[in-house]
């Protein structure tokens, strides 16, 4: 199904999308590994090629239109054009997050205790950067690689949403806004590109294990932070997700098995959305 197909994976140096890239390569796909940090991409490249797969390391800032155009040209020349796109690039920025969860009048007077900041104290450049990487970092690659899919008679795109898509978590204003936008643009782009036989869907991962999550949430095995315990209490399956938990859904959405599926966002969350917290 994926043999000799070209897959472009943005955010391929990260925990989740590196696993998707490696899995698709193991099924015979040629994978363009896209990310800002070449060293992280090189690690994934080595794993793929050591197993006999085909990969191309493509450092790129997916928020920069010129860079994305150059990336698309390179993929077309070296791998034969894009069949599938996984828009995994994204993230949050601690500078865009307050430390408090509710408005406090002291944030306007500068009298919050040392180390605390409210919404009015966050770095707005950082705030904008979160919107840019999560929204425009999805829009630009989709528009550019859709051109190649059109030439091939169709294709499939996966965007990355979040639990924040459905209900914003505290302190994550910019991130939650951007991930809500992902669901909307998945729907609107799906409708727009349907005549070109290009399907566009999204995955909304639950709380997944990576180095960043360990810092914020802790681990079930080694101890949870208060925030981590709250997540586990809200997750019927009683654990955080692993990158491998996304593979089945990703392969299904990309493949012809989902030929009549477009514009949906699929939660892969251990049941997180089934509990109202009451």
Catalytic residues: 175
Structure tokens at 10: 């943005």
Distance CA 99, CA 105 (A): 14
Distance CA 247, CA 19 (A): 8
Give exposure, 211-240, as e/b (b: 16+ Cβ within 10 Å).
eebeeebbeeeeebeeebeebbebbeeeeb
Structure tokens at 247: 């593979």
**Three-class DSSP category at 155:** strand
Residues in Cβ contact with 22 at an 8 Å cutoff, skipping those fewer than 6 apart: 44, 47, 48, 51, 53
Distance CA 200, CA 192 (A): 10
- Residue 70, classified by CB atoms within 10 Å of its CB into exposed (0-12), middle (13-18) or buried (19+), is middle
Structure tokens at 5: 């197909």
């Amino acid at each position: 199904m994926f043999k000799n197909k070209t897959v472009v994976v943005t955010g391929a140096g990260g925990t989740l999308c590196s696993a998707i890239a490696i899995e698709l390569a193991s099924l015979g796909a040629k994978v363009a590994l896209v990310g800002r940090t070449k060293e992280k991409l090189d690690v994934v490249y080595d794993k793929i090629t050591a197993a006999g797969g085909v990969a191309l390391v493509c450092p790129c800032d997916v928020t920069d239109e010129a860079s994305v155009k150059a990336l698309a040209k390179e993929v077309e020349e070296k791998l034969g054009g894009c069949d599938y796109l996984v828009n995994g690039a994204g993230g949050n920025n601690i500078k865009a997050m307050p430390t408090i969860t509710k408005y406090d009048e002291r944030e306007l007077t500068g009298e919050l205790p040392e180390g605390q900041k409210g919404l009015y104290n966050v770095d707005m450049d950082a705030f904008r950067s979160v919107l840019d990487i999560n929204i425009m970092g999805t829009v630009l690659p989709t528009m550019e690689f859709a051109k190649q899919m059109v030439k091939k008679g169709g294709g499939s795109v996966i965007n990355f949403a979040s639990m924040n898509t459905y209900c914003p978590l505290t302190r994550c204003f910019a991130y939650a806004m951007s991930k809500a936008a992902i669901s909307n643009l998945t729907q609107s782009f799906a409708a727009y590109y349907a005549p070109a036989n290009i399907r566009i869907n999204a995955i909304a991962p639950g709380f997944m294990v990576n180095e960043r999550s360990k810092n914020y949430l802790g681990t079930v095995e080694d101890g949870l932070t208060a925030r981590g315990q709250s997540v586990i209490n809200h997750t019927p399956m009683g654990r955080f997700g692993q990158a491998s938990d996304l593979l089945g859904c990703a392969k299904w959405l990309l493949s012809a098995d989902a030929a009549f599926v477009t514009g949906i966002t699929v939660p892969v969350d251990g049941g997180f959305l089934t509990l109202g917290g009451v």
